[in-house]
Amino acid sequence: MSIDTNAPQNSVLRLIEVEKHFHLGNSIVPVLKGITFSVQAGEFVSIVGPSGSGKSTLLNMITGIDAPTAGDVLVTGRSIHGMSENELAAWRGENVGIIFQFFQMLPALNLLQNVILPMEFAKQYPRRERRDRAIELLELVGLADHLNKLPNMVSGGQQQRAAVARAMANDPPLLLADEPTGNLDAATAEDVFGIFLRLAAQGKTIVMVTHNRSLATRVPRLIEIDDGIISRDEVIGVTGST
């Protein structure tokens, strides 16, 4: 496992000339074509691009779900693609919190149990402290009155709020949000986006992949992917209010 000695100070995420090719019959289809960028501690970054531009593939590189054909991905200075599957799973549980478009809450567990589960899996925090931490996180996202409800007993927006709390359970250095408002109506999407703004204001490092340009342009930094390359990397600087 390599260490990136040239990474900028406080770099949480760094991609270095990342390429990804897929084989389609006898053809090789390039999806990512030399992606390079860094995300510093405390940055809130949105990644946008049309369907098929490579956004999802890029996210898979960052989470370690897939490996690049060439190049490297480093999180907190560590190259993640030399690990075994078991090492990756353990690493992911401690270092990356992921919020999905379709929530992916375990239906047989209540919201409190869903948030406790990552702490148990990664063996983070003393057992006696996990429940209190989960309650604190659910209170943070406005679900203090819904701790003991199953996911199907609350709205989609409330499930996504719980998913944010779950992603933060182990206090990972990086939060990744994959189309976190894509399955929500406009008002609920605005509500969930407000949580991300508040977390960013508290210093959390967040990378959000989204097709919602209205939200993306209210994030301090916007990266646009087009046909597998970065066509825009702009510091906008000011988040919109919610």
Q: Taking Cα atoms as reference points, which of 103, 168, 102 lies closest to residue 135?
A: 168
Query: Quick check: helix, strand or coil at residue 27?
Result: strand
Beta strands in 139-241 (DSSP E): 174-178, 206-209, 221-226, 229-235
pLDDT at position 237, please? Answer: 66
Degrees, nearest 5: CA angle 15-1-223: 10
In degrees and rounded to multiples of 5, residue 76 shows phi and psi of 50, 40
Residue 3 pLDDT level (bands cut at 50, 70, 90): very low
Q: In this structure, are residues 99 and 175 in contact, taking their beta carbons and an 8 Å threshold?
A: yes
26-36, pLDDT tens digit by residue?
899 999 999 99
pLDDT at position 173, please? Answer: 94
Q: How far is CA 41 from CA 14, 125, 155, in A?
A: 11, 23, 32
Label the pairing between strands 206-209 and 44-48: parallel
Q: What is the pLDDT averaged over residues 73-87? A: 89
121-166, pLDDT tens digit by residue?
988 899 999 999 999 999 999 999 999 999 999 999 999 999 999 9
* Amino acid type, 26: N
81-101, pLDDT tens digit by residue?
888 888 888 898 889 999 988
Percentage of residues in the chain having pLDDT higher than 90: 67
Q: Which long-range contacts (CB under 8 A, 24 or more apart) does 28-31 make?
A: 30/228, 31/57, 31/228
pLDDT at position 4, please? Answer: 43
| Angstrom distance (rounded) from CA 220 to CA 194 | 14
Q: What is the pLDDT averaged over residues 209-231? A: 92
Least confident of 7-16, 140-149, 197-206, 228-237: 7-16
| Angstrom distance (rounded) from CA 17 to CA 35 | 5
pLDDT at position 5, please? Answer: 43
Instruction: Find all residues with CB under 8 Å of 44, minimum gap 6, and list them.
Output: 196, 197, 200, 204, 205, 206, 208, 219, 220, 221, 239
* Amino acid type, 234: E
